[in-house]
Structure 1
Amino acid sequence: MMNIHLVQDEKFINGSIETFNYYYAAQNVYFVDIDENNRKLVKESDDVYFIPFQHKTKIKKIISSVYKTDGVINLFIHYMSRKAANLAIDLKDNQLVDYLYWIFYGADLYSYLALEQNYKLYDYNVSGREYFLKDILKRIIGYNNYLLKIARILNYFCFWNYYDYLLFCEFIPTKAKFKLFYYTDIEKIALVDLVNKPTHLNVLVNHSASYTGNHLTILFKLFKIDSKKEIANIVLPLSYGAIKHKNLIIDKANSLFADRTCILDSFLPPQDYFNKINMCQVAIMGHRRQEAAGNISYFLLNGVKVFLREDNNLLKYYKNMGCHIYSFEKDLNTLTDLFPLTMKQKNANRNILQNALSKENRDKMMRTLITDEVN
């Protein structure tokens, strides 16, 4: 058996390589969609090739000459970009791979749904997101048809949130089966003292300056319910995202909350960043889609009261797990709704997440990931 991985040069991949190499030792090869000279995050290794995915001939030659096997060859696509999908289709057409696994992220489906199915992600239009004519042209020329094509030959949709799989099946014809998969390693998540939180109210808004965060919706509502200025700090992590949107958020936050605004607009060392967000008793995420799940899990593990949008399926996901988590639309109406979780609620959330992400469950997930084909 051989596992071929198509990956991006991004922060999750080094951990993913360690995980796959641990559970399927000497059975993996990784192709990174970037030139060797431009790589930033993925580490060098004998089983890692830095080749842009448009160089299909070069990749096929390596697979057929170096990794040829009489056993099953599985292809794992970590984030379904257009180039990754087209390469996967080519490899399948040339019988170089047997089974296709989509390691789902989120944007690789939701961007398509927003463009092709008018799926609602944004509460308002902002400067910097004026690409609608370009999107219309893409629809006319079928630029995004790659997702429809790959769905027809896809074997597995791999993710931890079953609701995203149902969304995929609702909008795109496919026979792909659901497989549980997540990158999160619970042992690497730092846990804080659930008792040691500041007494003054600090509220975190979103995790980045992404357009899908719908920051203004949150800021306006907080301003409305906080007429007596009882919120001590509005914490806004804005270290990545569109500059125009970031500036809009900063201007609006400053005009509404003045010196109570805490802007995190530069990259901080991990511990400094966590020290900042650990001062917050409440986190409000404005996304109308599954996004920032790693941050949300961190908050729930560490005693933070979390509000999500009503049409974000993560709200249903965490509620079904038994977590104490709240609807931005239905549960946030007065300042008292921002009161922190009780110790009983904090401990319950931590226990639920720790059990779900336990080493035992992670071992089972990884060892059964490909057992349908290889026993």
Structure 2
Amino acid sequence: MAESLDIIHLCEDEKFINLAIEQFEFCFPGQNIFYVIPNSLDEKLKHVSQSDFVIITNQEHLILIISSLPKGAIIILHSLSPRFYNFVIHLPESLTVVWLCFGFEIYKDPIYFNDRVLLDKLTLRKFPLRKVSVKESIKEKVRPFYRLFNQKLPLSKKEYKQKALKRINYLGSSFKEEFDQISKMINQRKNYFSFWYFPIEIIVEIDKPFIFPKTNMLIGNSGFNTMNHLDVFHKIKRYHLDNMNIIVPLNYGKPEYIEYLLIEGERIFQNKFNPLLSFMDLHVYNSVLNSVGVAIFNNKRQQAIGNTIALLWFGSKIFLSEKNSFYHYLKRIGIIVFCYESELNEKSFSKFLSLEEIEHNRRILLKELNKEHLGKLLKEQILKINK
């Protein structure tokens, strides 16, 4: 009989945590506890489904449970929220900590990442980014020296985060290229832990046929400036679009950015510009994606992964930035995908994928991302940690 494990999860109330619950319970039934911090003061869960192994908690309660954690427990952090820092810092060294990185922890922190590199020229010029104040920068640099004379000086947010990061044993990401990038930015080398929240069966109906002919193109997946829509608009504005409509999902993001894109998109493309401004359920949205022949994602870091996988499955020709780690992952596993910077031109833009190329991409996606394969990989990694 296999040894029973104690897998302790810490997460916030996010929709896709249910998918993590499903995967971990599929591999290790009855061996998981999910401690969930609600997003609202009424301490009710909005997204995560209630069950016997889902426990609502808060920062104070987390500290109290540390002493009762089983000796060989494996701690899984679903993101590294600031609300987790104190818990992580106080964990016994005997416990293994796995951080499943969401990306925001590093990419939205100017201490670790200069987000100017995420924006193309036009977007950066029109929508300049945040800056760390000189005052805050000086305070962070002086604080360690000041502590030499005042040991009671509390840790700053930066110091708390650094201390929490040092306590982590494994860094989890969907693919190795992103793991390497995050490791470089935090200047720490962790063990690699591979985890996908979304198996291919969750993203698309794998038995549903793809549509021909495809009459639309798609730019980006949201109304955030990191998608660099303006630069794409100006790169393709003189292409012969013929009967192709331009779909631009803008149903969430930054309001002032979305407003500007609506004006600029209509000015450049007129009646071919088709922004999506309302939320759709997954079935309806996938029907829209199934009509797309060409999709352009000019984001410089991993974003829109679910959209990209769905579009590849439906037979779209995808252009991704060479600065995006996801582009390099797809190329490594053999997916037919194209470089935004060097391969997007009017000729390549007008030639869609062949049936053979679409079927090639589907075979690879199904092999790499099917639920059974991901479950096997998850089980192997957890059992290896538990040795």
> What amino acid does structure 2 have at the position aligned with 1:289?
R
The answer as to 2:321 corresponding to 1:306 is: no
Deviation (angstroms), 1:110: 2.1
- Of 39, 45, 49 in structure 1, the residue corresponding to residue 51 of structure 2 is 45
- Residue 105 of structure 1 aligns with which residue? 102
Q: Structure 1: any 5+ residue segments left out of the alignment?
A: none
> What amino acid does structure 2 have at the position aligned with 1:51?
T
The answer as to 2:181 corresponding to 1:182 is: no
Q: Percent same amino acid at aligned positions?
A: 26
1:370 partner SS? helix
- Residue 212 of structure 2 aligns with which residue? 197
Contact 1:152 1:173 (C-alpha < 8 Å) held by counterparts: no
- Residue 85 of structure 2 aligns with which residue? 85
Deviation (angstroms), 1:26: 2.1
Alpha-carbon distance in 1 for matches of 2:127, 2:47:
27
The answer as to 2:164 corresponding to 1:150 is: yes
Q: How does 1:95-134 map to 2 (within 5 A)?
A: 95=92, 98-112=95-109, 114-119=110-115, 120-123=117-120, 124-125=123-124, 131-132=130-131
1:72 partner SS? coil
Residues 27 and 360 (structure 1), Cα distance of their counterparts in 2 relative to 1, 3 Å cut: closer
- Of 25, 33, 36 in structure 2, the residue corresponding to residue 21 of structure 1 is 25
Contact 1:72 1:373 (C-alpha < 8 Å) held by counterparts: no
Deviation (angstroms), 1:372: 2.8
Q: How does 1:187-226 map to 2 (within 5 A)?
A: 187-188=201-202, 189-191=204-206, 192-194=208-210, 196-200=211-215, 202-224=216-238, 226=239
RMSD: 2.4
Residues 145 and 292 (structure 1), Cα distance of their counterparts in 2 relative to 1, 3 Å cut: farther
2:164 partner SS? helix
TM-score, scaled relative to structure 1 = 0.88
The answer as to 2:32 corresponding to 1:32 is: no
Answer with 30-39 or 286-295: which moved more.
30-39
CA offsets 1:255-276 (integer angstroms, 9 cap, x no match): 1111111111111122221222
2:245 partner SS? strand
How many residues were matched structurally?
361
Contact 1:74 1:97 (C-alpha < 8 Å) held by counterparts: no
Q: How does 1:256-275 map to 2 (within 5 A)?
A: 256-275=268-287
Q: Structure 2: any 5+ residue segments left out of the alignment?
A: 141-155
Contact 1:5 1:30 (C-alpha < 8 Å) held by counterparts: yes
Alpha-carbon distance in 2 for matches of 1:373, 1:298:
32
Alpha-carbon distance in 2 for matches of 1:223, 1:373:
52
Alpha-carbon distance in 1 for matches of 2:27, 2:374:
11
CA offsets 1:204-229 (integer angstroms, 9 cap, x no match): 011111221111111111213x2x44
1:105 partner SS? coil
Alpha-carbon distance in 2 for matches of 1:79, 1:218:
31
CA offsets 1:106-163 (integer angstroms, 9 cap, x no match): 2222223x55342511223377766425697378445334443233221111122111
2:205 partner SS? coil
- Residue 76 of structure 2 aligns with which residue? 76
Contact 2:62 2:87 (C-alpha < 8 Å) held by counterparts: no
